[in-house]
Chains A and B, each alone.
Chain A
Amino acid sequence: MTEDWEAGGFGIYIHWPFCAAKCPYCDFNSHVSRQIDEDRWRRAYLNEIDRHAAETPGRVVRSIFFGGGTPSLMDPATVAAILDRIRMRWPQANDLEVTLEANPGSVESGRFRDYFGAGVSRVSMGVQALNDRDLQRLGRIHSVDEALRAFDIARSVFDRVSFDLIYARQDQTPEDWRAELGRALDLAVDHLSLYQLTIEDGTAFGDRYRIGKLRGLPDEDSAAAMYDITQEVTTNAGFPIYEVSNHARPGAESRHNTLYWRYGDYVGIGPGAHGRLTLNGKRFATEAIRMPNGWLDAVDQGSGDAGRSVLTTEDQATEFMLMGLRLVDGVDMRRYQDLAGRPVSPQAIGSLQDLGMVEVEANILRVTDRGRLVLNSVIATLLE
Chain B
Amino acid sequence: MTDLAHIRNFSIVAHIDHGKSTLADRLIQSTNTVSEREMKEQLLDAMDIERERGITIKANTVRIEYIAQDGDTYVLNLIDTPGHVDFAYEVSRSMRAVEGSLLVVDSTQGVEAQTLANVYQAIDADHEIVPVLNKIDLPASEPERVKEQIEDVIGIDASEAMLVSAKSGIGIAETLEAIIKRLPAPKGDRNAPLKAMLVDSWYDPYLGVVVLVRIMDGVLKKGDQIKMMQTDAKYQVDRIGVFRPAMQNVTELGPGEIGFLTAQIKQVRDTKVGDTITTEKKGCEKPLPGFKPSIPVVFCGLFPVDSAEFEDLRDAIEKLALNDASFSYEMETSAALGFGFRCGFLGLLHLEVIRDRIEREYDIELITTAPSVIYHVYMRDGSKIDLHNPADMPDMTHVDHIEEPRIKATIMVPDEYLGDVLKLCQDRRGIQMDLTYVGGRAMAVYDLPLNEVVFDFYDRLKSVTKGYASFDYQLEGYREDNLVKMQILVNDEPVDALSMMVHRDRAEMRGRAMCEKLKDLIPRHMFKIPIQAAIGGKVIARETLAALRKDVTAKCYGGDATRKRKLLDKQKAGKKKMRQFGKVDIPQEAFISALKMDN
Contact = CB atoms under 8 A, between A and B. Distances in A.
Contact of A377 (B526, B556, B561): B526
A380 B560 contact: no
Report the interface size class on chain A: 35 or more
Main secondary structure on B side of the interface with A: loop
A67 B558 contact: yes
Interface string A354-384: 0101000000000000001111111111011
A245 interface: yes
From B527, B554, B568, B572, name the one whose CB has the most chain A CB atoms within 10 angstroms. Answer: B554
Contact of B548 (A67, A352, A374): A374
Interface in B544-564: 548-562, 564
A358 B552 CA distance: 15
B550 A318 contact: no
A197 B553 CA distance: 10
Contact of A244 (B552, B558, B559): B552
A245 B559 contact: no
Interface string B516-529: 00000000011100
Interface stretch (A38-46, A144-152, A174-182, A220-228): A220-228
B565 interface: yes
Interface in B537-591: 548-562, 564-565, 567-568, 571-572, 575, 583
Given A323-B564, A378-B526, A380-B571, A198 B555 contact: yes
A40 to B, nearest CB: 23
Nearest to B583: A351
Contacts of B526: 352, 355, 357, 374, 377-378, 381
Nearest to A379: B568
Contact of A380 (B554, B556, B568): B568
Report the interface size class on chain B: 20 to 34
Given A373-B551, A373-B552, A322 B568 contact: yes
A319 interface: yes
Contacts of B527: 355
A221 B549 CA distance: 6
Contacts of A227: 550
A196 B556 CA distance: 12
A197 B565 CA distance: 21
Contact of B550 (A197, A276, A373, A384): A373
Contact of A274 (B525, B552, B554, B561): B561
A275 interface: yes
A66 to B, nearest CB: 11
B549 A376 contact: no
B559 A315 contact: no
A13 interface: yes
Contact of B560 (A274, A374, A378): A274
B575 A224 contact: no
B565 A322 contact: yes
Interface in B270-315: none
A195 interface: yes
A317 to B, nearest CB: 11
B561 A28 contact: no
A376 B552 contact: yes
A285 interface: yes
A168 to B, nearest CB: 9
A282 B153 CA distance: 83
A339 B550 CA distance: 30
A287 interface: yes
Contacts of A379: 568
B555 A380 contact: no
A15 interface: yes
Contacts of A260: 556, 558-559, 561
Interface string B50-90: 00000000000000000000000000000000000000000
A245 B571 CA distance: 21
A351 B526 CA distance: 11
Contacts of A161: none
A356 to B, nearest CB: 9
A198 B554 contact: yes
B561 A276 contact: yes
A13 B571 contact: no
A319 B561 contact: yes
A266 interface: yes
A273 interface: yes
Given A195-B554, A198-B554, 11 more contacts: A274-B557, A275-B559, A285-B561, A322-B561, A351-B583, A375-B552, A376-B567, A376-B571, A377-B525, A377-B526, A377-B551
